[in-house]
Amino acid sequence: MGEVHVGTCSWTDPTLIAAGTFYPRKEMSAEERLKFYAQNFDVVEVDSTFYALPSEKVIGLHTERTPDDFTLHYKAFGLLTQHPIDPKRLPKNIKAMLPEEALDKKRLGFNEVTAEARDMAFQMFESALRPADSAGKLGVLLFQFPPYFTHKDSNKGYILQCKEKFPQYRLAIEFRHPSWLTEDKRKDTLNFLEENGLIYVSADEPQFDDGKTIPPIAEATADVAYIRMHGRNKENWFRRDIPTVERYAYEYFDEELKEWLLKIKELMYETRRAYAMFNNCYADYAVNNARRMKELLE
pLDDT in tens, 173-228: 999 999 999 999 999 999 999 999 999 999 999 999 999 999 999 999 999 999 99
Alpha carbon distance 148, 177 (integer Å):
6
pLDDT of residue 159: 98
Average pLDDT over residues 54-71: 98
Nearest 5°: phi and psi at 144?
-100, 110
Would you say residue 138 has pLDDT above 90? yes
How big, in percent rounded to 5, are the helix, strand and coil portions of the chain?
Answer: 45, 15, 40
Alpha carbon distance 15, 82 (integer Å):
28
Q: What sign does the dihedral 37-77-89-244 (CA atoms) show? A: negative
Domains of the chain, by residue range, sit at 3-297
Task: For the domain made up of 3-297, give the CATH fold.
Answer: TIM Barrel (3.20.20)
pLDDT in tens, 222-271: 999 999 999 999 999 999 999 999 999 999 999 999 999 999 999 999 99
Residue 113 to residues 77, 92, 177, 296: CA-CA distances in angstroms? 14, 14, 23, 46
> What does the DSSP 8-state code read for residue 180?
G
pTM score > 0.75 for this model? yes
pLDDT of residue 26: 87
What is the three-class DSSP state of 120?
helix
Give residue 57's Cα distance to chain centre: 21
Q: For residue 275, with 0-12 CB atoms within 10 Å meaning exposed, 13-18 middle and 19 or more buried, which class applies? A: buried
Alpha carbon distance 161, 173 (integer Å):
13
Spell out the long-range contacts of 257-263 with Cβ–Cβ below 8 A and sequence spacing 24 or more. 257/289, 257/292, 257/293, 257/296, 258/296, 259/216, 260/204, 260/218, 260/227, 260/229, 260/293, 261/293, 261/296, 261/297, 263/202, 263/218, 263/227
Q: For residue 72, with 0-12 CB atoms within 10 Å meaning exposed, 13-18 middle and 19 or more buried, which class applies? A: buried
pLDDT of residue 123: 98
First to last CA, the chain: 14
pLDDT in tens, 82-104: 999 999 999 999 999 999 999 99
Would you say residue 280 has pLDDT above 90? yes
> What does the DSSP 8-state code read for residue 108?
B
